[in-house]
């Protein structure tokens, strides 16, 4: 018999609890148990960034986090930011700059960029490149994505 671990955490502001397997990754819990399909399954080894979520405000790859480890944590996905003005602005700039094609990588890019922008970590285009280096896109190339983030955060006051 496989034991499970009752794990409680906050998902997009709401308390949830799951009976997770001890070796269950958060990516699977979110997609398969909690139906959060914006969190994408890519490489499953921490290299592509498509499964990025915010864990206590920091972008992390959910394929490398065991669900029992997030007991008591605050997890945010793009669904939790739909009414956040800075996030909405970021999404609009992705659209304006043509930074989305298939969209598979986009939730991960948006969450990584959102965290960097709202923490005031982006002062130059080089900062954007540095913060987004863990997210891969096979469609757009990176210039449009970097331009979209720059349009959100580097515009003149």
User: Where do contacts with ligand FES occur on this chain (CB under 6 A)?
Assistant: 41-44, 46-51, 61, 63, 100-106, 137-140
Least distance to ligand FES, CB of residue 56, Å = 18
- Whichever of 7 and 61 has its CB closer to ligand FES, that residue is 61
Q: How far apart are CA 123 and CA 2, in angstroms?
A: 49
Residue for token pair 């080089």: 126
Least distance to ligand FES, CB of residue 57, Å = 19
- Whichever of 123 and 133 has its CB closer to ligand FES, that residue is 133
- Whichever of 8 and 138 has its CB closer to ligand FES, that residue is 138
Q: How far apart are CA 113 and CA 47, in angstroms?
A: 17
Least distance to ligand FES, CB of residue 7, Å = 19
Least distance to ligand FES, CB of residue 120, Å = 25
- Whichever of 100 and 122 has its CB closer to ligand FES, that residue is 100
Q: How far apart are CA 106 and CA 34, in angstroms?
A: 20
Q: Are 131 and 116 in contact (CB under 8 A)?
A: yes
Least distance to ligand FES, CB of residue 62, Å = 7
- Whichever of 6 and 95 has its CB closer to ligand FES, that residue is 95
């Amino acid at each position: 018999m496989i034991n499970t671990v009752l794990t409680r955490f906050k998902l997009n502001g709401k308390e949830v609890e799951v009976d997770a397997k001890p070796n269950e990754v958060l990516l699977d819990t979110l997609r398969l148990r909690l139906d959060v399909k914006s969190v994408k399954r890519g490489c499953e080894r921490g290299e592509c960034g498509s499964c990025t979520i915010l864990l206590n405000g920091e972008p992390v790859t959910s394929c490398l986090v065991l669900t029992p480890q997030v007991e008591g944590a605050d997890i945010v996905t793009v669904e939790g930011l739909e009414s956040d003005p800075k996030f909405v602005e970021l999404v609009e700039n992705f659209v304006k700059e043509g930074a989305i094609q298939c969209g598979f990588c986009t939730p991960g890019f948006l969450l990584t960029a959102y965290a960097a922008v709202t923490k005031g970590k982006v002062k130059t285009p080089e900062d954007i490149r540095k913060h987004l280096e863990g997210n891969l896109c096979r469609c757009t190339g990176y210039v449009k994505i970097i331009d979209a983030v720059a349009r959100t955060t580097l515009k003149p006051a």
